[in-house]
Amino acid sequence: MPTVLRTLINNIDAVDDGIMVEMQGLADKVYSEFKAIQGIIKNLLIQGTTDVVDTTDFLDNRWNELYDSGLMKLLKEYKDELSDKKDEESVAFKNKVVEILKNSVNLLPSEAELLTQLKKGGKNRGIDVYTMRLDKLRTEFTREFINIDEEIFDAQVAAFKRRIVDIFTEDNGGKLGHLLPVSDFDTTDEWLTAFAERYLAKSRYDQFKVAFVMLSEFSLTVRGFLMHRIRDRIDKLNPTCYDDQRLSDEDEAKKIRLSLSRKLKDVKEELLQKFQDELFREPNRVFYAIISEFYDRLNFSYQANMKDAEKTWEKFYSEHLIEIWSSEFQDDMKLSELYRDWSELSDSLSKITKQDFTSNI
């Protein structure tokens, strides 16, 4: 009977968990639709503002400060900053690799552990124990490098993306936080993807959309750029040149331990040399390559095409001008009943958060 009750309780818990996941998904969907409706309402309410304010003059008077002295200036400064660092070693990455190489000796089995295994007999002959321990050493050694993703690279990539998103959204940069608040999203990846899908759907913005999607999908992983370049060294942890001469279990354990230690030492020395020669610089080079590609797609870097890019950005800002500079329209529109309606509604809608939807579903 207790087993039946326990099974029933587990099944109920599983159903509850499934319902919660489904409800969370529903809350996310409803909130997304709410934000879309909010945008539609805003657009309907502000259609008449061009009768009150000359939007062309308004943007012309602010364009240089926004584009040349703001958005593109900050992007280029960050690109130049990463250019200066591209041949420097990534300190956090280097420190972690050195730590892995130093601590890898702890992956070696002790003589006592090997002796216990040898005394079991059967398939635990010297060469068999040796090859099994080599396989284990190789996979555990590899796993230590894979852990670099979570410990080092994830934080570096997040900071890289955050810096770029800040340039686009903050008031001294692109001001796009007024159009799509970063606070509405859990990660910069979500913001980049949402911005590309909502605001760069028109064909004239194709290059910009590619840039934003590329940045949102960018990741830096050991498997992606590093493992294939160090695998030839790690593969030297193999059973070649092992002397299978019959010895006592005690002497066999010592021989296996010594051979494993020597092979690991050789691999560590070769890896450290390869890292010092090039790989410690690789993360900084990757970040520079990504921002260069991103910048080129947004700015059409060659001089003859830069004006075309600027005109495209100017068109984008003119389409969303009233939302981005909504607070600056207040003085010119303070007698407009339309503006007051829009402002009051906007304030009310902006106070509704994603958490409100989650807690009420």
Residue 85: which residues within 8 A CB-CB, separation 6 or more?
284, 287, 288
Listed in sequence order, the residues at least 6 apart from 32 whose beta carbon sits closer than 8 Å to its beta carbon are none
In a domain, 25, yes or no: no
Q: Look at residue 46 and tell me if it is in a domain.
A: no
Domain count, the chain: 1
Residue 82 resides in a domain: yes
- Please give the structure tokens belonging to residue 189: 């990846």
Residue 76 belongs to a domain: yes
Please indicate, yes or no, if residue 344 is contained in any of the structural domains: no
The string of DSSP letters for 252-278 reads HHHHHHHHHHHHHHHHHHHHHHHHHHT
Angle at 293 between CA 287 and CA 299, to 5 degrees: 125
pLDDT of amino acid 81: 97
% of residues, the chain, pLDDT over 70: 73
Q: What are phi and psi of 180, to 5 degrees?
A: -140, 95
On whether residue 354 sits in a domain, the answer given is no
* Euclidean distance between CA atoms 239 and 6, whole angstroms: 50
297 CB neighbour count, 10 Å cutoff: 19
**Secondary structure of residue 302 in the 3-state scheme:** coil
Listed residue (300, 320, 302, 322) closest to 311, CA to CA: 300
In a domain, 177, yes or no: yes
Pick the closest to residue 179 from 160, 190, 194, 164 (CA basis).
Answer: 194
Residues 6+ positions from 79 with CB-CB distance below 8 Å: 288, 291, 292, 295
Count of CA atoms in the C-beta half-sphere (13 A) of 143: 7
Closest CA to 137 of 256, 224, 273: 256
Give the structural domain span for 65.
Answer: 54-319
State the burial class of residue 144 (Cβ atoms within 10 Å of its Cβ: 0-12, 13-18, 19+): middle
Q: What's the pLDDT at 335?
A: 45
Q: In whole angstroms, give the CA distance from residue 164 to residue 215.
A: 9
Decide: 269 and 140 in contact? Cβ < 8 Å: no
User: Which pLDDT value is given to residue 354?
Assistant: 62
The verdict on residue 3 lying in a domain is: no
User: What residue ranges of the chain have pLDDT lower than 70?
Assistant: 1-32, 34-36, 38-53, 121-124, 239, 241-244, 301-304, 329-343, 345-347, 349-351, 353-361
